[in-house]
Amino acid sequence: MAVIVGLPLVSEDAFLADQLGKFFLYGIFALSVDLVWGYGGMFTFGQATFFGWAGYVVGMLTVREVGFLPLPFWVALPTAVAAVALLALGLGYFVFSGRLALRGVYFAVVTLAMAVLSERLANAGGDITGGQNGILFGARLGLPGLFYFDRDYGFYGLTATLLVIVYLLLRRYILSPTGLVLRGIGQNEDRVALLGYDVAAVKRRVLVMSSAIAGLAGALFHVHDGIVSPGAVGVELSTLVLLWVALGGRGTLIGPVVGAVGLSLLNARLSGTFLDTWLLVVGVVLVAVIVAFPAGLFGFLHQSRSRV
Amino acid sequence: MTSARIGTNAFPPPVLEVQRVTKSFAGFTAIKDVSLTLQQGEMRGLIGSNGAGKSTLMHLIYGRELPDEGAIIFGGQGVSDLPPFQRARLGMALKFQVTSVFDDLTVEENLALGAQPKKRVRKGKNERIDEILGLIELEPKRSWQARELSHGEMQWLEIGMVLLTDPALLLLDEPTSGMTRAESRHTADLLHSLREQQAVAAMMIVEHDLEFIRLVSDSVTVLHRGSVLAAGTVAEVQDNADVQDAYLGRLA
């Protein structure tokens, strides 16, 4: 963890720092998926919905000049996180409660539908979402006097700090008694229910937590990028994050971070050089790693250690 | 231990009453007008050939399925409409037929999950876990991952896990399936010591293995094509001509 976070400080490369700042947000995004899928066993195809819509909400609230708008960034950010958490809460009630109680592939299909629908909505949203072009963040956003999303070490410092905080909080959660319940649910949900736990309530809470984490990362990511467009809420990004988590090792905390940051970095550095073959190489490496280590790189290391 | 759920008066209600329960699936009546009562301290065997309705009856008792007609009364309280987790909170515990331990968690973590849901048990949780570890003889393997245990040990771990929920009723769905003869005997000993310690108010054991039923049950209910064919002591049921025709006879 320290190695990843400290890289640009050693290399004194401001461009690398800025780039890594973005990838750290991908790392946080991957951790949000790891929480629901890696630990809770809920395979989600729609995590970008939370990541992307949070960006949109910040855009809607800070860019347009109508009525009480624009709001300052420090108001828009928590509003965006709350909005996607609310969306997740609604989804949680819809899919986990009552006799419906979707799980496994059924949950995956619902989240996939959510991502597809989101992308359509973002495209068709007219002035509200900016249609295909999305929303451009014109104003200089940040915390006045403290921090702006300009290309410098500030952004990198912010996201590195956030990544470490999210990592530590999740670590603490996973090792806590409630985290133990979540790990149990990931392995055998019926057994957990028949010990007297309200599995639907636990899953709902975790989905909300995970969406808030994804939303925080997504809001910062798009403000830094200066634009949010329909791809941000869609299936492609939702799938990409699954690859990061699978490759790094779901059910470990360091794995998804390394998967997200590592693959994004490789992609940024190598895709320019090997334009045509890059995607092919990524695909082959992914298949090879997943066949050789189904638990992901760090999942494999973790297992071999505990066998001793 | 169970006084919070089961009445403390001189005539406590039965632990479990199944009252005229019927359940159909797409026109097929799996359980037809079944009634049975489990008194305090009872160890009841539930037998019947494949398709007799044993599994469906278990599902109805612990809440995986809801009855079309009839009622499930647990400790004097109607639970027919409650989801499984709420029945578990009231003191119903199930040992699944398919071994259901948490493979990637340690033996101790598995047990901790059992001890957690109720505040009452949380107090003195570690002592209770130590106690159960001794009972199921897994003390030396407390930090092993559950996946590393033998088949029999996994079954005992699951029994230990549900015991930590401090249940009034212990439902065991074919607890000896896949076990060696020695492991089966060991399981029978475990169930008997549970009764001696009054760890649970009553047990119901679904089994194919009649030998095992003889070892652990005072009374037996025989299901046949979704209905109760006979009920009584093991000896009575074995002498019953209908039972011999329908079930025991075929095994001989």
- Condensed to tens digits (0 to 9), the pLDDT of residues A76-99 reads 999 999 999 999 999 999 888 766
What's the whole-number mean pLDDT along residues A186-206? 94
What pLDDT is stored for residue A8 in this prediction? 61
Q: Is A222 in contact with A59 (CB distance < 8 Å)?
A: yes
Residue B29: burial class (beta carbons within 10 Å; 0-12, 13-18, 19+) = middle
What's the whole-number mean pLDDT along residues A211-223? 96
Residues 6+ away with beta carbon under 8 Å from B215: B185, B188
User: Measured between CB atoms, does B114 come within 8 Å of chain A?
Assistant: yes
A 227-286 → B contacts, CB under 8 A: 251
The answer to the question of residue A137 being in a domain is yes
Q: What is the pLDDT of residues B38-87, one digit of tens each?
A: 999 999 999 988 888 999 999 999 999 999 999 999 999 999 999 999 99
Distance (Å) from the C-alpha of residue A110 to the closest C-alpha of chain B?
A: 24
Q: What CA–CA distance (Å, rounded) separates B234 from B229?
A: 14
Place of tokens 């029945």: B87
Tell me the pLDDT band of B2, cut-offs 50, 70 and 90.
Answer: very low
DSSP SS3 for B31: strand
Find residue B24's DSSP bridge partners. B29
User: Measured between CB atoms, does B88 come within 8 Å of chain A?
Assistant: yes
What pLDDT is stored for residue A307 in this prediction? 40
Does the pLDDT value for residue A290 go beyond 60?
yes
Does the pLDDT value for residue B101 go beyond 60?
yes
| Yes or no, beta carbons of B102 and A183 under 8 Å apart | yes
B88 neighbourhood in chain A, CB within 8 Å: 193-196
Beta-strand relationship, B219-224 and B43-47:
parallel
Does the pLDDT value for residue A152 go beyond 70?
no
Q: What CA–CA distance (Å, rounded) separates A119 from A100?
A: 26
Distance (Å) from the C-alpha of residue A239 to the closest C-alpha of chain B?
A: 26
Q: Average pLDDT, whole number, for chain B? A: 88
What pLDDT is stored for residue B16 in this prediction? 96
Does the pLDDT value for residue A170 go beyond 90?
yes
Q: What is the pLDDT of residues B19-46, one digit of tens each?
A: 999 999 988 999 999 999 999 999 999 9
Place of tokens 């097929």: B28
Does the pLDDT value for residue B5 go beyond 50?
no
Q: Kindly give the interhelix angle for A73-96 and A199-225, rounded to the nearest 10 degrees.
A: 150
B 25-64 → A contacts, CB under 8 A: 62
What's the whole-number mean pLDDT along residues A266-273? 77
**CB nearest A193 (choices: B84, B112, B145):** B84
What's the whole-number mean pLDDT along residues B140-167? 94
Residue A41: burial class (beta carbons within 10 Å; 0-12, 13-18, 19+) = buried
The answer to the question of residue A290 being in a domain is no
Question: Longest Cα pair distance anywhere in chain B, in angstroms?
Answer: 52
Q: Which residue of B has its CA nearest to A251?
A: B104
Instruction: For an interface test with A, give the residue of B87, B101, B113 to mutate (most A CBs within 10 A).
Output: B113
Q: What CA–CA distance (Å, rounded) separates A163 from A166?
A: 5
CATH assignment of B16-251, given 3.20.20.70, 3.40.50.720, 2.30.33.40, 3.40.50.300? Answer: 3.40.50.300
Threshold 0.90, pTM exceeds: no
Distance (Å) from the C-alpha of residue A185 to the closest C-alpha of chain B?
A: 9
| Residue B69 in tokens | 């007609």
Q: What is the pLDDT of residues B172-186, one digit of tens each?
A: 999 998 899 999 999
What's the whole-number mean pLDDT along residues A12-23? 84
The answer to the question of residue A209 being in a domain is yes
Q: What is the pLDDT of residues A126-135, one digit of tens each?
A: 888 888 899 9
What's the whole-number mean pLDDT along residues A213-229? 94
Does the pLDDT value for residue A306 go beyond 50?
no
Structural domain count of chain A: 1
| Yes or no, beta carbons of B103 and A187 under 8 Å apart | yes
What's the whole-number mean pLDDT along residues A208-225? 96
Lowest mean pLDDT among A197-206, A283-292, B43-52, B190-199: A283-292
Distance (Å) from the C-alpha of residue A104 to the closest C-alpha of chain B?
A: 18
Q: Average pLDDT, whole number, for chain A? A: 87
| Yes or no, beta carbons of A181 and B116 under 8 Å apart | yes
Please state the domain extents for chain B: 16-251
Q: Kindly give the interhelix angle for A177-187 and B107-115, rounded to the nearest 10 degrees.
A: 110
Distance (Å) from the C-alpha of residue A188 to the closest C-alpha of chain B?
A: 7
Distance (Å) from the C-alpha of residue A181 to the closest C-alpha of chain B?
A: 7
A251 neighbourhood in chain B, CB within 8 Å: 104
The answer to the question of residue A244 being in a domain is no
| Yes or no, beta carbons of B105 and A184 under 8 Å apart | yes
User: Measured between CB atoms, does B117 come within 8 Å of chain A?
Assistant: yes
The answer to the question of residue A61 being in a domain is yes
Domain that includes residue A192, residue range: 2-233
What pLDDT is stored for residue B209 in this prediction? 80
A190 neighbourhood in chain B, CB within 8 Å: 84, 96, 100
Does the pLDDT value for residue A22 go beyond 90?
yes
Tell me the pLDDT band of A147, cut-offs 50, 70 and 90.
Answer: low
Tell me the pLDDT band of B122, cut-offs 50, 70 and 90.
Answer: low
Place of tokens 């590393």: B148
Q: Is B84 in contact with B63 (CB distance < 8 Å)?
A: yes
| Yes or no, beta carbons of A199 and B85 under 8 Å apart | yes
**CB nearest A177 (choices: B83, B116, B165):** B116
Does the pLDDT value for residue B4 go beyond 60?
no
More confident call, B208 vs B130: B130
Tell me the pLDDT band of B3, cut-offs 50, 70 and 90.
Answer: very low
Residues 6+ away with beta carbon under 8 Å from A124: A131
